[in-house]
Chain A
Amino acid sequence: MSDYILEIKNLYKEYTSKNITVKAVTDISFNIKKGETVGIVGESGCGKTTLGRCIVRGIPATSGQVLYTAEDGVTYDFLNIDKKKLKELRKDIQMIFQDPYSSLDPRMTVLNIITEPLKANFPKMKKSEMELRAAEIAEKVGLNPSYLKRYPHAFSGGQRQRIGIARALIINPRIIVCDEPVSALDVSIQAQVINLLKDLQRELGLTYIFISHDLSVVEHISDKVGVMYLGKMVEFAETEALFSKPLHPYTEALLSSVPVADPTVKMNRIPLKGEIPNPANPPSGCYFHERCSYCVDKCTKVAPEYREIEKDRFVACHRAEELKLKGFTYDEPKAI
């Protein structure tokens, strides 16, 4: 039996239109243990959402494998199983979407929204039982079960996101792909939803893939973090290792740009040159070389290999061993 609940191997996704091929996701591999949270960060357009959707098979990947170890200990390639098995296994991998305003059908009641996965997966289940399950789940995510007959417009953003979470949870998934679940919410509501996700994880033993561009949120919730740039994974490591000692210059620049909510902390931003290149026409060699301040001749010609430099530390940079990059210093919490 595999150590990992999910192994993503050499995943590619290409979009072609009018003879132009855009590589949205290029050769991504990483593994997730059961009960872990893996954060995926990167700027808009770097392919994080595409990656998430490929993993749940919401869109077909061009090539690659997503090896999923089911509850019975058998490992399946999630991208290459037949329809019947897929239907059975889909229950285990669910998704929470970014925008709680557009991911709920305004013409369905909350009860119908939450029970829809049950209808699809257990067509023989009795209506009364479904309602019971929905009320249970609603309670669990902090929604008043008496509100289930209402329509989504009657709810605030934070409550809608709870509805989205309830919908994902009702068929007892083992893995949830969260695509920017809190970025559309206000700060105090963000904290509520993040706490809820953490509580549910502890209670139900869930595994999360947490996609976000907000580095503070990712640092808070994740055990491991992957950094994406222009469709490629440039670094993957344990959260504290990645934030305190980044190995890739892009990670370093990204970390230095985060505004820390403490006026006494001095920021030394490492400026990035230029803008994100067009993914339809990526630069030669390392995709990041034009903007990198540590670029050497080799970087412009040869694409760096994504390699395991220490145990559980992956990086794609020629100079990873020699560079001494700056991250955050971890210390005891200051009293507020």
Chain B
Amino acid sequence: MDRKESIVQVNNLHINIKMDEGILTAVRGVTFHIDRGETLGLVGESGCGKSLTCKAILAINDPKCSTSGEILFNSDDGVVDILRLPPKGSEIRNIRGKQISMIFQEPMVCFSPLYTIGNQINECTRLHITKDKKKSREISIEMMKKVGIANAEKRYDQYPHEFSGGMLQRALIAMALVCNPKLLIADEPTTALDVTIQAQILELIKELQKELKMSVLFVTHDLGTVARMCDRVAVMYLGKIVETGPVEEIYLSPKHPYTIGLIGSVHKIGSKRKERLYSIEGTVPLALNLPAGCGFYDRCQCRIDGVCNVKEPEPVEVGPNHVVSCHAVGQKTGEEGHDIE
């Protein structure tokens, strides 16, 4: 690993899915790293490959996905490449759930309705921490208290249907954090929740992150929560990271036309009301038999014919830690982004 302080380094990750219609190139050469204690936001629309990337880090993708590249994880026993580990072997099991854990999108479908909440949180502690039933119950209850579940002793023996959505999400967070992971992957953890509860959960993740000193990979399509949560942002489009940089850079001077469009299409409360929102025309194409050149070509306002549809853009550094993959940006360096008003 070239960066010592990185907890995980993903290099040139490719994920292909075989379908009847052909090969779907869902993730096409994704490279990023997450430092210790840092929160990286992975932003993109549905179908851009965010969730597949997350699942690849835990090696829990469907067997019909063929994955290549490398995912270097700084584990307790030194640096390992997760993709080279056998997916059912003891090494990955020692990492999955213990050193890297994940919060999933919909709390309502992540729990089995047949087991009590405590039972399901316990699964993790008994696998990784202690075989002792009493002790593991204590640890689980303590974690439930930490994530703000009132009456944890009583709640421990309740079933998922007795919990509200916000409470279930807390239980899911407790489950993910009970083994004190080094890296937490949060895949749209608040999309299914109301704003007031969303704010509570986001604050909770932030507090626990500080306390447990973990790194977080925060995956979402909501630019509002990214602005609140992340130190750095990586914007994904059609299986590629098109722009990455510190959160303020990305919001205040986005460079890639897709990032600009994405930020422009969200209305900010308190800003003077614009008549129209900026919108990116067209829809995300399906990643089947993609043509050569930039994936954003046919939706892009700044496209250069004869360049963008011929050659894939290479990542260019436009500022400290701010990297963009766009031909148009390479041509007009020094200019403050593109005009979208």
Check if B224 sits within 8 Å of A275, measured CB to CB: no
Smallest CB–CB gap between A300 and chain B, Å? 21
Residue A331 at the B interface, CB < 8 A?
Answer: yes
Check if B195 sits within 8 Å of A187, measured CB to CB: no
Check if A259 sits within 8 Å of B277, measured CB to CB: no
**In-complex Cβ contact of A261 among B263, B276, B284 (8 A):** B263
Residue B273 at the A interface, CB < 8 A?
Answer: yes
Q: A191-B279, A263-B248, A275-B166 are in contact. Are A217 and B267 (CB under 8 A)?
A: yes
Bitwise, B163-202 to A at CB < 8 A (1) or not (0) is 0111100000000000000000000000000111111101
Which chain A residues border B269 with CB–CB below 8 Å?
215-216, 219, 243, 255, 258, 260, 328
Residue A158 at the B interface, CB < 8 A?
Answer: yes
Check if B225 sits within 8 Å of A259, measured CB to CB: yes
Q: A186-B45, A220-B267 are in contact. Are A332 and B195 (CB under 8 A)?
A: no
Residue A198 at the B interface, CB < 8 A?
Answer: yes
Check if A264 sits within 8 Å of B252, measured CB to CB: yes
Q: A188-B45, A262-B227, A263-B248 are in contact. Are A257 and B195 (CB under 8 A)?
A: yes
Smallest CB–CB gap between B170 and chain A, Å? 11
Check if B283 sits within 8 Å of A156, measured CB to CB: yes
Check if A261 sits within 8 Å of B266, measured CB to CB: yes
**In-complex Cβ contact of A188 among B251, B262, B272 (8 A):** B262
Check if B203 sits within 8 Å of A188, measured CB to CB: no
Which chain A residues border B203 with CB–CB below 8 Å?
269
Q: A261-B223, A271-B200 are in contact. Are A216 and B271 (CB under 8 A)?
A: no
Check if A257 sits within 8 Å of B198, measured CB to CB: yes
Smallest CB–CB gap between A35 and chain B, Å? 15
Residue B134 at the A interface, CB < 8 A?
Answer: no
Residue B264 at the A interface, CB < 8 A?
Answer: yes
**In-complex Cβ contact of B195 among A43, A189, A243, A333 (8 A):** A43
Check if A263 sits within 8 Å of B283, measured CB to CB: no
Residue B300 at the A interface, CB < 8 A?
Answer: no
Check if A216 sits within 8 Å of B260, measured CB to CB: no
**Category for how many chain B residues contact A:** 35 or more
Q: A186-B45, A328-B269, A336-B337 are in contact. Are A198 and B276 (CB under 8 A)?
A: yes
Check if B199 sits within 8 Å of A257, measured CB to CB: yes
**In-complex Cβ contact of B283 among A189, A191, A272, A331 (8 A):** A189
Which chain B residues border A102 with CB–CB below 8 Å?
none
Smallest CB–CB gap between A139 and chain B, Å? 16
Check if B268 sits within 8 Å of A260, measured CB to CB: yes
Check if A261 sits within 8 Å of B268, measured CB to CB: yes
Kindly report which residue of chain B lies nearest to residue A269, judged by CB atoms. B199
Check if B277 sits within 8 Å of A194, measured CB to CB: yes
Check if A336 sits within 8 Å of B264, measured CB to CB: yes
Check if B224 sits within 8 Å of A259, measured CB to CB: yes
Q: A191-B265, A216-B269, A269-B203 are in contact. Are A44 and B194 (CB under 8 A)?
A: yes
- Chain B residues 211 to 254 lying within 8 A of chain A, measured CB to CB, are 221-228, 247-248, 251-252, 254
Residue A29 at the B interface, CB < 8 A?
Answer: no
Check if B224 sits within 8 Å of A216, measured CB to CB: yes
Tell me the complex Cα distance, A195–B274, Å.
Answer: 11
Residue B111 at the A interface, CB < 8 A?
Answer: no
Check if B227 sits within 8 Å of A188, measured CB to CB: no
Smallest CB–CB gap between A227 and chain B, Å? 12
Kindly report which residue of chain B lies nearest to residue A45, judged by CB atoms. B194
Residue B278 at the A interface, CB < 8 A?
Answer: yes
Tell me the complex Cα distance, A267–B268, Å.
Answer: 14
Which chain B residues border A192 with CB–CB below 8 Å?
279-281
Which chain A residues border B227 with CB–CB below 8 Å?
259-263, 265
- Chain A residues 265 to 280 lying within 8 A of chain B, measured CB to CB, are 265, 267, 269, 271-272, 275-276
Tell me the complex Cα distance, A191–B282, Å.
Answer: 12
Which chain A residues border B247 with CB–CB below 8 Å?
263
Residue B335 at the A interface, CB < 8 A?
Answer: no
Check if A188 sits within 8 Å of B267, measured CB to CB: no
Which chain A residues border B199 with CB–CB below 8 Å?
256-257, 259, 269
Check if A188 sits within 8 Å of B261, measured CB to CB: yes
Check if A259 sits within 8 Å of B194, measured CB to CB: no
Smallest CB–CB gap between B41 and chain A, Å? 10
Tell me the complex Cα distance, A328–B270, Å.
Answer: 6
Which chain B residues border A50 with CB–CB below 8 Å?
none
Residue B114 at the A interface, CB < 8 A?
Answer: no
Check if A331 sits within 8 Å of B270, measured CB to CB: yes
Check if B265 sits within 8 Å of A259, measured CB to CB: no
Bitwise, A170-191 to B at CB < 8 A (1) or not (0) is 0000000000000000111111
Check if B265 sits within 8 Å of A190, measured CB to CB: yes
Check if A336 sits within 8 Å of B194, measured CB to CB: no
Smallest CB–CB gap between A276 and chain B, Å? 8
Residue A334 at the B interface, CB < 8 A?
Answer: yes
Tell me the complex Cα distance, A186–B282, Å.
Answer: 12
Which chain B residues border A215 with CB–CB below 8 Å?
195, 269
Smallest CB–CB gap between B46 and chain A, Å? 6
Residue B275 at the A interface, CB < 8 A?
Answer: yes
Q: Which residues of B contact A (CB under 8 A)?
A: 45-46, 164-167, 194-200, 202-203, 221-228, 247-248, 251-252, 254, 260-281, 283-284, 337, 340
Q: Which 7 A-B pairs have the closest CB atoms?
A: A259-B224, A191-B265, A191-B279, A328-B270, A257-B199, A220-B267, A191-B277
Cross-chain pairs A/B with CB under 8 angstroms, 13 sampled: A156-B283, A186-B284, A187-B221, A187-B262, A195-B277, A216-B269, A220-B267, A258-B195, A260-B228, A260-B270, A262-B268, A264-B248, A333-B272
Contacts A186-B46, A216-B267, A269-B199 aside, 6 further interface pairs with beta carbons under 8 A come to A159-B283, A188-B265, A191-B266, A191-B280, A220-B277, A263-B228
